[in-house]
C-alpha cells in the first residue's frame, strides 16, 4: 500500500512538472511574437519548416519548432532535427585555429608557408594600367590572419583550363590551392574564400598532428556535449535530417540530393561548410563563447583570445554580404547596425550559411539567436526576410 502511494505521488509530480513546462513554453514572451514572425513564411510556402532558438550564457531562453522537416512524408520539425549548417562551419574552424595559437603551435601573423611549405613562391596576378594581367611576387606572403579574415587573395576558382581534380584529403586539396596565384595583394581587399578556410583546416592538421575532423571532435564537440555535430552523420542522424527545398515553378520543391549521406570516402570534411548540427548543440557552443571560453568548468579558450576573434580586424575594408559589415577572425562583425542587422548591437558577431541558417551573438545584450531552415535559391541568405523577422523577435 505504501509503495502504491509513493508511485502515485511520483506520477503526480511528473505530470505536474510536464504541465509546468508546457505552461512556461506557452507563456514565454517570445512565443506569440515568434509565431507571428515565422508562420507567414510557412503559409506562403517559402520554407517547409524552421527551428528557432534564443539563449544566453546560462542556457536556452526559447526553443521552438515550426512546420515540417519533410513536407512529402509529413514529418514535423523537432528540437533535435539535423541541419546542414554550411558556412556556419567557418567560425568553428577558426576556434580550432585559435586553440593552437594559444598553445604556441601557430601564430596569427605566421606566413602560411611556414607550416605548409607548398605555399612558398606563390604569385599574385596584377593588371598594370592599360596592360595585360601578369603574375609577380606579392609584397608579402599570406598569413594565417589573412585566411581568417578572407583578405588573403586566395581565389575560390581553379585557373582557366585547369583539369578537374578529385581531392580525397585536405592535404591533397591544399596542395592544389597552393599552386593558384593570388587575386590581389594580401591584406588589401576582402574576398570570401572557401579555399582559404580549407587551408585553415589543413593548418590544424599540420600543427596538431591530427586529422581536422578528429581535432574538432576531441577538443570541441565531445567535451561540449555536441553529440549531433558532425561532418559524417550516422544513418540514425540522417533519419532526422531536414529536407532541403528550393522554389521551382513557383512551388516549394525538395532537393533529394540533400539527403545523400556523406562519408569520408565520398567527401572531404569541408572546413568552409561541411558540418551538420542541431539547435541544442549550437546553443552549447554559443553559451561557451558568451561565458568567455568556459562552460561547465571546462576551459576551451581564454577570454582574451575570444576578444581578439570577435573584434573588428578589417578596418574600413568593405566586407560581407550586407551593409556595414566587417570581419573578425572567422566571424562576421556588425560595424554599424543597418537593415537586416538594425536590431543588433554594434560589435555583434556570427555567421550565416548557404541554406538560410543563421547564428549571431550580441555581446551587449548578452544573447544569441539561432535560425535553422533549409532553403536553396535565396537571393542572399544573409539578408533574407526570414532572418530579419526572426532577429526582430530574438533581439528586440
pTM, full prediction: 0.92
pLDDT for 54 beyond 60: yes
At a CB cut-off of 8 Å and minimum separation 6, what does 293 contact? 299, 300, 301, 302, 303, 305, 306
Over residues 113-129, mean pLDDT = 94
Q: What is the CA radius of gyration of the chain?
A: 22
Task: Work out the mean pLDDT of the chain and round it to a whole number.
Answer: 93
User: What is the pLDDT at residue 159?
Assistant: 72
At a CB cut-off of 8 Å and minimum separation 6, what does 37 contact? 389, 390, 392, 393
User: What is the pLDDT at residue 6?
Assistant: 42
Over residues 356-375, mean pLDDT = 98
Reduce the DSSP state of residue 333 to 3 states and report it.
Answer: strand
Q: Which of 130-134, 225-229, 378-382 has the lowest mean pLDDT?
A: 130-134
Reduce the DSSP state of residue 251 to 3 states and report it.
Answer: strand
Q: What is the DSSP letter of 384?
A: -
pLDDT for 83 beyond 90: yes
Proportion of the chain above pLDDT 90, given as a percent = 88
Mind giving me the DSSP string for 183-207?
A: SS-TTS-----HHHHHHHHHHHHHH
d(CA 52, CA 31): 11
Residue whose C-alpha is closest to residue 267's, from 231, 216, 215, 214: 231
* Domains in the chain: ranges and CATH: 29-90+230-395 (3.40.710.10), 95-208 (3.40.710.10)
pLDDT for 236 beyond 90: yes
pLDDT for 354 beyond 50: yes
Proportion of the chain above pLDDT 70, given as a percent = 93
pLDDT for 201 beyond 90: yes
pLDDT for 390 beyond 50: yes
Q: What is the pLDDT of residues 257-310, one digit of tens each?
A: 999 999 999 999 999 999 999 999 999 999 999 999 999 999 999 999 999 999
User: What is the pLDDT at residue 10?
Assistant: 42
Over residues 85-89, mean pLDDT = 98
d(CA 351, CA 88): 5
Q: What is the pLDDT of residues 4-32, one digit of tens each?
A: 454 444 444 444 433 444 444 458 999 99
251 half-sphere exposure, CB direction, 13 A CA radius:
5
Q: Is the CB of residue 214 less than 8 Å from the CB of residue 204?
A: no
d(CA 116, CA 196): 13
Q: Is the CB of residue 137 less than 8 Å from the CB of residue 188?
A: no
Over residues 348-367, mean pLDDT = 98
Over residues 64-70, mean pLDDT = 98
At a CB cut-off of 8 Å and minimum separation 6, what does 335 contact? 312, 324, 325, 326, 346
pLDDT for 212 beyond 50: yes
Indicate left, alpha or beta for 108 from its phi (over 0: left) and psi (-120 to 50: alpha).
alpha
Amino acid at each position: 500500500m505504501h509503495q502504491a502511494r509513493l508511485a502515485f505521488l511520483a506520477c503526480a509530480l511528473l505530470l505536474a512538472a510536464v504541465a509546468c513546462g508546457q505552461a512556461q513554453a506557452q507563456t514565454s514572451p517570445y512565443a506569440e511574437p515568434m509565431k507571428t514572425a515565422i508562420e507567414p513564411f510557412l503559409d506562403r510556402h517559402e520554407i517547409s519548416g524552421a527551428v528557432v532558438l534564443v539563449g544566453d550564457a546560462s542556457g536556452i531562453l526559447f526553443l521552438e519548432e515550426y512546420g515540417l522537416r519533410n513536407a512529402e512524408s509529413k514529418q514535423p520539425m523537432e528540437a533535435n532535427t539535423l541541419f546542414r549548417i554550411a558556412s556556419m562551419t567557418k567560425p568553428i574552424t577558426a576556434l580550432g585555429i585559435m586553440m593552437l595559437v594559444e598553445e604556441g603551435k601557430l601564430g596569427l601573423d605566421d606566413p602560411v608557408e611556414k607550416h605548409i611549405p607548398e605555399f612558398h613562391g606563390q604569385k599574385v596576378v596584377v593588371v598594370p594600367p592599360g596592360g595585360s594581367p601578369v603574375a609577380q611576387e606579392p609584397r608579402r606572403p599570406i598569413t594565417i590572419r589573412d585566411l581568417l579574415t578572407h583578405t588573403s587573395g586566395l581565389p575560390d576558382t581553379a585557373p582557366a583550363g585547369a583539369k578537374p581534380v578529385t581531392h580525397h584529403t585536405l592535404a591533397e586539396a591544399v596542395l592544389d590551392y597552393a599552386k593558384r596565384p593570388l587575386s590581389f595583394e594580401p591584406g588589401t581587399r576582402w574576398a570570401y574564400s572557401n579555399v582559404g578556410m580549407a587551408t585553415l583546416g589543413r593548418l590544424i592538421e599540420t600543427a596538431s598532428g591530427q586529422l581536422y575532423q578528429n581535432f574538432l571532435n576531441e577538443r570541441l564537440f565531445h567535451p561540449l556535449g555536441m553529440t549531433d555535430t558532425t561532418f559524417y552523420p550516422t544513418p540514425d542522424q540522417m533519419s532526422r535530417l531536414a529536407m532541403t527545398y528550393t522554389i521551382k515553378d513557383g512551388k516549394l520543391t525538395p532537393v533529394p540530393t540533400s539527403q545523400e549521406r556523406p562519408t569520408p570516402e565520398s567527401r572531404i570534411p569541408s572546413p568552409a561548410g561541411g558540418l551538420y548540427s542541431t539547435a541544442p548543440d549550437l546553443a552549447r557552443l554559443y553559451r561557451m563563447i558568451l561565458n568567455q571560453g568556459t562552460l561547465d568548468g571546462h576551459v576551451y579558450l581564454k577570454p582574451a583570445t575570444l576578444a581578439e576573434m570577435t573584434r573588428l580586424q578589417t578596418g574600413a575594408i568593405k566586407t560581407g554580404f550586407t551593409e556595414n559589415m566587417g570581419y573578425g577572425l572567422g566571424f562576421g562583425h556588425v560595424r554599424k547596425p543597418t537593415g537586416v542587422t538594425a536590431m543588433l548591437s554594434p560589435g555583434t558577431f556570427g555567421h550565416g550559411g548557404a541554406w538560410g541558417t543563421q547564428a549571431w551573438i550580441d555581446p551587449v545584450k548578452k544573447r544569441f539567436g539561432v535560425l535553422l531552415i533549409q532553403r536553396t535559391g535565396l537571393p542572399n541568405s544573409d539578408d533574407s526576410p526570414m532572418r530579419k523577422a526572426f532577429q526582430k523577435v530574438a533581439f528586440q
